[in-house]
């Protein structure tokens, strides 16, 4: 069975500062990794995903994440955050054996002006 | 991209009544849909997995008779909360598996308040 750990429940940061949201996973088989963002009272929106190929994946709004197999991590980064990035971020993992995604507990990104 | 429409977005009902939540995949066929429940400031709790044309698979601890799931077509799944009670108040989210894109598209969620 797979599992996901998001160590930081809350990450406060000032506008235009860089940010990293950490995600570690546990699985005995190959994984597919996802980052989702959730704004208040809304569903989840896919930010980016790693299925195969290049370990660095990027979203259209400046976020990127790198799959690190040796460290079993898929940390999300952005070099300069905006107020509008304030939201809840969820890391998720599936495997070829189980297509049911397992979610981390979420990290609340709070961007201060 | 793939879109999942979830309705209603918000519903208030009286204790003892039933509420139906719909989840539709608009531009792809979703052979599998997931229903989640989310408590404030918490992650998503998978309630059940529904496959088109077959019975839903419920997670441990989820009452099948209270949370009725129907996946009658490749584009529609419904969750009915029967005899709702205040403790059923929560945010319910559906998700559809898009096999072509290998991804999961989420509905916008339903805020259920039972009074």
Residues B43, A106: C-beta atoms closer than 8 Å = yes
Return the pLDDT at B18.
97
Residues A32, B107: C-beta atoms closer than 8 Å = no
Residues B106, A108: C-beta atoms closer than 8 Å = no
One digit per residue, pLDDT tens: chain B, 115 residues?
A: 688 999 999 999 999 999 999 999 998 888 889 999 998 878 889 999 998 888 899 999 999 999 999 988 889 999 999 999 999 999 999 999 877 767 788 999 999 999 9
| Sequence-distant (≥ 6) Cβ neighbours of residue A82 within 8 angstroms | A15, A16, A111
Query: DSSP states of B48-68 as a string?
Result: EEEETTSPPEEPTT--TTTEE
Per-residue pLDDT tens over the stretch A57-110:
999 899 999 999 999 999 999 999 999 999 999 999 988 767 788 899 999 999
Alpha helices in B1-115 (DSSP H): none
Which of A31, A32, A43, A49 to substitute to test the interface with B, most B CBs within 10 Å? A43
Residues A36, B103: C-beta atoms closer than 8 Å = no
Which of A42, A44, A51, A107 to substitute to test the interface with B, most B CBs within 10 Å? A44
Residue of A nearest to B111 (CA): A41
How many CA within 13 A on the CB side of residue B68?
Answer: 11
């Amino acid at each position: 069975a797979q599992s996901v750990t998001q160590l930081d429940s809350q990450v406060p940061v000032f506008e235009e500062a860089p940010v990293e949201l950490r995600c570690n996973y546990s699985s005995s088989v190959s994984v597919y990794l996802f980052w989702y963002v959730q704004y208040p009272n809304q569903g989840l929106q896919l930010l980016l995903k790693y299925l195969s190929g290049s370990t660095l994946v990027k979203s259209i709004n400046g976020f990127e994440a790198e799959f690190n197999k040796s460290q079993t991590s898929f940390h999300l980064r952005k070099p300069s955050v905006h107020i509008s990035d304030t939201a809840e971020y969820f890391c998720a993992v599936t495997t070829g054996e189980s297509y049911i995604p397992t979610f981390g507990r979420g990290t609340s990104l709070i961007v201060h002006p | 991209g793939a879109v999942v429409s979830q309705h209603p977005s918000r519903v208030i009902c009286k204790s003892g009544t039933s509420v139906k939540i719909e989840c539709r995949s608009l531009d792809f066929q979703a052979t599998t849909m997931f229903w989640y429940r989310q408590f404030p400031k918490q992650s998503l709790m998978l309630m059940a997995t529904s496959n088109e044309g077959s019975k839903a698979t419920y997670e441990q601890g989820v009452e099948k008779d209270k949370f009725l799931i129907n996946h009658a077509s490749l584009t529609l799944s419904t969750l009915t909360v029967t005899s709702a009670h205040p403790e059923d108040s929560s945010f319910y989210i559906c998700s559809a598996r898009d096999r072509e894109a290998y991804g999961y598209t989420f509905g916008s969620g339903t805020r259920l308040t039972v009074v």
